[in-house]
């Protein structure tokens, strides 16, 4: 989908505050409420906006440990990769999974309360997954930046060049 300046402004404002009313959003992007709502509905229908959620503080709710886990699968075949993907889909501790190039096949971001909880997750779940050949865990010591907002404004900068 080709995004214009108004679409990008809408997305930027909603990433900053997903609870904006349509009236306030329309003010911020310089539209009247009716066309703003129409654009918003189009962005939702086309799955540009996949949903709305609250951003939680991991420390305050007791999910203080973040682990980046590199996974190698047995063979580089679709069946092995697909078996691994199916096995992680329902695991809430894994908040992101990426197919990557380089040393590992997959990179997971795992969030758990403590090192003990990660050990149990590693032993009881990750090591028992199909096709897993090797697992390497990297623990986040301190989070410097944790901003889930996408840099949509850079799309405007790219166009002006």
Encode pLDDT of 119-132 as tens digits: 999 999 999 998 89
Q: How far apart are CA 88 and CA 111, in angstroms?
A: 14
Q: What does the pLDDT look like over 52-76, one tens digit per residue?
A: 999 899 999 999 999 999 999 887 6
Counted domains in the chain? 2
Looking at the fold, whether 64 and 131 belong to one and the same domain comes out as yes
Residue pointed to by tokens 């149990």: 120
Same domain, 62 and 132: yes
Q: Is 64 in the same domain as 39?
A: no
Indicate which CATH number applies to the domain containing 11: 1.10.10.10
> pTM higher than 0.75 for the full model?
yes
pLDDT digits (tens, 9 = 90+) for 65-106: 999 999 998 876 677 778 888 899 999 999 999 999 999 999
Domain that holds residue 27: 5-54
**Look-up: residue for tokens 């990769």?**
81
CB-CB contact of 49 with 14 (8 Å)? yes
């Amino acid at each position: 989908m080709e995004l214009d300046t108004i679409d990008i402004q809408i997305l930027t404002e909603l990433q900053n505050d997903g609870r904006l009313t349509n009236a306030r959003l329309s003010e911020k992007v310089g539209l009247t409420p009716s066309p703003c709502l129409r654009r918003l509905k189009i962005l939702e229908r086309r799955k540009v906006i996949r949903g709305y959620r609250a951003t939680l503080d991991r420390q305050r709710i007791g999910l203080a440990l973040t682990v980046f886990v590199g996974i190698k699968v047995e063979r580089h075949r679709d069946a092995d990769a697909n078996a691994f993907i199916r096995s992680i889909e329902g695991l809430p501790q894994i908040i992101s999974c990426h197919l990557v190039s380089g040393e590992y096949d997959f990179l997971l971001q795992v969030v758990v309360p403590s090192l003990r909880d990660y050990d149990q997750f590693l032993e009881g779940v990750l090591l028992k997954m199909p096709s897993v050949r090797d697992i390497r865990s990297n623990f986040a010591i301190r989070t410097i930046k944790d901003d889930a907002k996408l840099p949509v404004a850079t799309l405007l900068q790219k166009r002006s060049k």
